[in-house]
Structure 1
């Protein structure tokens, strides 16, 4: 699949330095203390990315993902200083640029891996920038905000939380895989039954195909709002408003148009369960 190569995505991978060894030194630390530290650190990262109109994803907590075309290398270094001053750990950061979100995150991963292992005690607050896209950053973001149709009535209020979580996570896993393997997109679970995907500029047919494939594999119906913008925040805000219009109108796909209007699409038969 080809994309507009005039657009470039900048992503970051924030990885805690020697975090595994820290959790068991001088002896294994309480799990609740570790979870509390992870939550606070992620909240700081989300605030940092939000301040720069970017998006943050907790990923695996000791590894966090940022999407922000307007976050400079120097600003990431200042965030490293913030971590060092507030927490008993430090972080290294890989920054990657490419024409697709998946490519940008892959580049950021390569960058941080080139500076040493996550278990390496000698690695400390490294920053590595890998650019694979055009020399000049042309910021444009496409955000797709997915959620499951009627999850409360079909699952939350009817099944045990274990069964509900299992069904949601199974569908999220399929959705993430389809977006990554077929559309070079990066998707992240953000709580409840919501998934946010950073995508290339995909057409309506692509989003319909994504919804259809996930439904065929899991019998779960998603609805999605899609927005584009110069920043992840602008695109994401438009996607959230588009998703609300899906809920209001009973549609499965709503896209923000450049003239400020929203285009609705009633879904294919397989999504009307």
Structure 2
């Protein structure tokens, strides 16, 4: 049986009144919107990354960051920096929980309580409290880094680019549902054939069952490296090293303290 011992801190990054802004005073060119979104995501990734956090783009007007160890003052500095460089502002909801899904629910509730995402009067909300230092431990964050087995040989070198994209997205959707609905985890596609998930502590057999479900639903074979740490960077690097062990030893699940036998 899985036992969650994580202490997740998640920040929901939400662009203020973004939908109406994109069509005011008239519809803006899609190329300009895509360029702004990608630059904004890059800046967020750099900001959180230099503070040992991760951010994932999800829908771009809503992004999700793993922010263990990042305090409220840093969140406020981020809002100020973006306000000075972009034509849009962002609201930030900080949530914490015993598992990632609960932490995101908490973060989301803070922003929803402050007003709609399309409320023209809602600007730069900063709501919710980061974890106190005395609440934190050295294995608060658990990261699972999934990789498709032989994606190049099976898909990239065999199918056209869009068909490959469809197959990868189908596998990602299956994995995302399995981790979120059954195990309170949050999985994010990060490019190529890689998915990074913020998870509670899960048993080895749970990862094996999730991988089997994806194989059955999407006809896709996965491997995963799992790591734990005080911050997203600590856990993520441990997961990357564990994934390399999978590649070298042709195994399915590898990891450190996040794997319980």
What TM-score, normalized by structure 2, do the two folds share? 0.94
**Matched residue, 2:37:** 38
Distance 1:145 1:209 in 2: 16
**TM-aligned CA deviation for residue 52 of structure 1:** 1.2
Contact 2:2 2:201 in 1 (8 A): no
Distance 2:84 2:119 in 1: 21
**Matched residue, 1:185:** 185
* SS at 1:191 equivalent: coil
**Matched residue, 2:107:** 108
**Structure 2 counterparts to residues 169-208 of structure 1, below 5 A:** 169-208=169-208
After superposition, the Cα gap between the structure-2 partners of 1:92 and 1:156, relative to the gap in structure 1 and judged at 3 Å, is same
**Matched residue, 2:135:** 137
Distance 2:82 2:132 in 1: 31
Contact 1:107 1:130 in 2 (8 A): no
After superposition, the Cα gap between the structure-2 partners of 1:144 and 1:189, relative to the gap in structure 1 and judged at 3 Å, is same
Contact 1:108 1:130 in 2 (8 A): no
Distance 1:19 1:239 in 2: 35
Distance 1:212 1:107 in 2: 31
Contact 2:2 2:202 in 1 (8 A): no
- Structure 2 alignment gaps of length 5 or more: none
**Matched residue, 1:14:** 13
**Matched residue, 1:153:** 153
Contact 2:2 2:203 in 1 (8 A): no
**Matched residue, 1:244:** 244
After superposition, the Cα gap between the structure-2 partners of 1:257 and 1:215, relative to the gap in structure 1 and judged at 3 Å, is same
Identify which of structures 1 and 2 has the higher relative contact order when contacts are C-alpha pairs closer than 8 Å and 6+ apart: 2
State whether structure 2 residue 133 is matched by structure 1 residue 128: no
Contact 1:224 1:246 in 2 (8 A): yes
**Matched residue, 2:73:** 74
- Structure 1 alignment gaps of length 5 or more: 266-273
Instruction: Give RMSD over aligned pairs.
Output: 2.0
Deviations 1:91-134 (A, max 9, x none): 11111011001110111011111111111100010111068x99
**TM-aligned CA deviation for residue 246 of structure 1:** 1.1
Distance 2:192 2:150 in 1: 12
After superposition, the Cα gap between the structure-2 partners of 1:103 and 1:134, relative to the gap in structure 1 and judged at 3 Å, is farther
Deviations 1:195-221 (A, max 9, x none): 000111111111111111111111100
Contact 1:228 1:234 in 2 (8 A): yes
